[in-house]
Amino acid sequence: MTSPTGVNAPTIQASLRIASRRSQLAMVQTHWVRDALQQAHPGLEISIEAMATQGDKILDVALAKIGDKGLFTKELEAQMLVDRADIAVHSLKDLPTNLPDGLMLGCITKREDPADALVVHQRHREHTLATLPEGSVVGTSSLRRLAQLRHHYPHLRFKDVRGNVITRLEKLDGGDFDCLILAAAGLQRLGLGDRIHELIDPEISLHAVGQGALGIECRQGDTAVLERIAVLEHRPTALRCHAERAFLRQLEGGCQVPIGVNSRFAEPDASGELVLTGMVASLDGLRLIRDSVSGPAADPESIGEALAHRLRDQGAGQILEEIFAAVRPEA
């Protein structure tokens, strides 16, 4: 390459190292990020290092009982902190709202459908969530899914299920459960969209904060990396997710709390007003507090914080304290 001065400039071999979990879903997501970055920066040399996290290894304990924030992210973050990786690709809903010193949420990608999906054992294919027989066993380890479904369908039973999406589907098909609740986005990305029996109405169950979007984490102030990954940012998704994350942060919820959200722009052009709905429920499903706040999309954090205060005023803090006391691992 010839520089404007006519002198041959040395070719700078730019590279970017990505840390990822190694589940099938994580790899699909990471490959998507790599391909998008490669297309935007054809000369960039991109490598992927895949690893297991604590959350992938501890499979015999209910998620909520492990009680650790950053269960699926810590090992990836360590790689960036010791300069063995430049970015980490996460399902945004697995990324805690407070990140370790020195790291930041660099960008947020375009969200897929954030809804939860019902997946049924084939013996129930004529049923819907509302008509599943008395005592049907729902496989989930999400306190959010459990509390909301118990609230609306007290005749259902719940059993913890761990492992990645494919393992869960195998357990369902093997007869361990009558149905599963999974994120529609994960099934779609894995090419398993045909297993979605029904999308769950947000009137019944609100999704997790950040569900369906990817969060790219990087070192704070790493401007070269931030500039490269900026092409991945989807502004409307980011505004919604920043409001959702501010709501969760204000309620001091980790990744395992019965907290759900829904966000939308008041106008179809993704400007102006952002409407955020949130809920906190007790684990027996008996108490469920839900409300909405809207405000200017340009200041998403204020919307999330206002909603958290509004739910606290209605007793959400009390519910969360009871849950933290009940599920906290024994000291």
Catalytic residues: 94
Choice from 88, 183, 276, 281 touching ligand DPM (CB under 6 A): 183
Which CB sits closer to ligand DPM, 85 or 200?
Answer: 200
Work out whether 195 is an interface residue with ligand DPM (CB under 6 A).
no
Name the one range near ligand DPM by CB under 6 A: 139-147, 231-239, 279-287, 314-322: 139-147
Binding to ligand DPM (CB under 6 A) within 241-260 occurs at: 255
Q: Which range touches ligand DPM (CB under 6 A), out of 11-19, 87-95, 225-233, 267-275?
A: 87-95
Interacting residue with ligand DPM among 142, 237, 263, 294 (CB under 6 A):
142
Interacting stretch for ligand DPM, rule CB under 6 A, among 30-38, 86-94, 237-245, 285-293?
A: 86-94
Which of 17, 21, 34, 144 contacts ligand DPM by CB under 6 A? 144
The 3-state secondary structure of the chain, one letter per residue:
CECCCCCECCCCCCEEEEEEECCHHHHHHHHHHHHHHHHHCCCCEEEEEEECCHHHHCCCCCHHHHCCCCCCCHHHHHHHHCCCCCEEEEEHHHCCCCCCCCEEEEEECCCCCCCEEEEECHHHCCCCHHHCCCCCEEECCCHHHHHHHHHHCCCCEEECCCCCHHHHHHHHHCCCCCEEEEEHHHHHHCCCHHHCCEECCCCCCCECCCCCCEEEEEECCCHHHHHHHHHHCCHHHHHHHHHHHHHHHHCCCCCCCCEEEEEEECCCCCCCEEEEEEEEECCCCCCEEEEEEEEECCCHHHHHHHHHHHHHHCCHHHHHHHHHHHHCCCC
In the region spanning residues 15 to 54, those forming contacts with ligand DPM, defined by CB under 6 A, are 25
- Cβ nearer to ligand DPM, comparing 247 with 295: 247
Stretch that binds ligand DPM, among 33-41, 75-83, 207-215, 305-313 (CB under 6 A): 207-215
Kindly state whether residue 215 participates in binding ligand DPM, applying the rule CB under 6 A: no
Q: Tell me which of 73, 97, 205, 211 binds ligand DPM, using CB under 6 A.
A: 211
Pick the binder of ligand DPM from 185, 276, 289, 306 (CB under 6 A).
Answer: 185
Which positions lie near ligand DPM, rule CB under 6 A?
A: 25, 91, 93-94, 140-142, 144-145, 165, 182-183, 185-186, 208, 211-212, 255
